[in-house]
Homo-oligomer: A and B are copies of this chain.
Amino acid sequence: MKAAILAIGSELVHGEKLDTNSQWMASRLADLGIDTRTFAEVGDDLSEIVDLLRYLGERHSLVIVGGGLGPTQDDLTREALAAIADVPLIEDPASLDAIRALFARRNRDMPERNRIQAQLPAGTEAIPNALGTAPGVWMTALDATSFVALPGVPYEMKAMWDAEVVPRIRQRGWVRSVIVRQIVNLFGLGESEVEGQAMDLTVRGRVPEVGITASDATIAFRITGTGPTEADAHAQIAPTLAIIRERFGPYIVGEAEGIDVQHALLAELERRGLSLALAESCTGGLIAERITSIPGASRSFLGGVVSYSNAVKTSALGVPPDLLATRGAVSPEVAQAMAAGVRDRLGADVGLSVTGIAGPGGGTPEKPVGLVYLGLATASGVVHRELRLGSEQPRSVIQSRAAKHAMNWARQTIQIRDQD
């Protein structure tokens, strides 16, 4: 089974936007044991789209098409598919109802131009889209090639992939061997340190295969197992997973894609029945945002103060003005006062604070860009930690690293204190 993925949009081939959907779909196809051989991207030009669709359709048995299903004149995927199958476009009543219902739920009438999104090539199957107005299309043409068109909006595409595309692929019996990937995310060690301690696992040809990648200072092991069933693939992975857990335990923050320090901190707080309050200065709400992106965060997270100005550090957190004047806003003393202040004022078990210089301006030789102080207040007292994240780093990197180190340090410190 050979697959190809075609992404449609002039913004892609003009270099204005990066196509990340195709990569995501190829890795999901790989999980099902389906081999993607070719990616292509083409602009909003009907004859070029048709030409490329035909080329890919003649050489692959599954062609996934991303984008071009919107309501505008630039959206040409429906027309291109109809041209490939040599059939007219006809209105699909069920899709039209779904589009109308979506607008109704938002208390709006469907604009007339969205009606075009219910036009599908005759004889094809609509793929329902619960999150947007563009239904997908499943079409068989060109000597039994399956063409599967999905919207370009990533969260709509991903939801449709899981709910609609994968079941249809399984139903057709295309999944012969199963690939399972197990991720283990670590934080607090450098990529080369991790690599040095895992040389035996990453050697070429070892089964299961183990890869290491780094993203925003989180290091991920990816263990890839294969087998006739999912259980077999998991069994192949299990011993390697045990070795990694044994060797890197204290640094492990999660064992699935996207599970990171915020999840680990929240889990640790919940396990111990502790509530958290935040006092953020240079991270500007980033820690709160990451924690509250997790459903159910309210079980442990009370809230926080973004104390961007010194006046707010005093009025909302009770940091003494003379401490700010004598030690400066970026100092161990102010970090501690912020943590203690937010713990006290918000009535939390744990107060966590961050104050630092995110840049690009504001650095001095004594207090360079990248200097950050963390504070942690609990029932057993107040502690601080200094970070030096590098004056050459961009603002966004310093903010993100400071947030991650703060959450990871809080998690580890809570663990240790509880064991005392």
Contacts and interface: CB of A to CB of B under 8 A. Distances in A.
A346 B316 contact: yes
Interface string A48-85: 10011001000100000000001111100000000000
A293 B107 contact: no
A280 B73 CA distance: 39
* Interface bracket on A: 35 or more
Contacts of A20: 18
Nearest to A307: B303
Contacts of A295: 359-361, 395
A175 interface: no
A306 to B, nearest CB: 4
A87 interface: no
A177 interface: no
B297 A301 contact: no
Contacts of A96: none
A393 B204 CA distance: 43
Taking chain A's interface residues, is the majority helix, strand, or loop, or is none over half, making it mixed? mixed
Interface string A357-391: 00111000000000000000000000000001011
B73 A202 contact: yes
How many copies the complex holds: the figure is: 2
A39 B36 contact: no
A71 B192 contact: yes
Interface of A: 9-20, 22-30, 36-45, 48, 51-52, 55, 59, 70-74, 102, 105-107, 111, 113-114, 130-131, 155, 159, 181, 190-193, 195-196, 199, 202-204, 211-214, 222, 257, 277-278, 280, 282-289, 291-293, 295-298, 301-309, 311-312, 315-316, 345-347, 359-361, 388, 390-397, 399
Given A12-B23, A17-B213, A72-B202, 11 more contacts: A11-B211, A13-B26, A72-B212, A102-B390, A106-B388, A131-B394, A285-B306, A286-B292, A288-B308, A292-B308, A303-B312
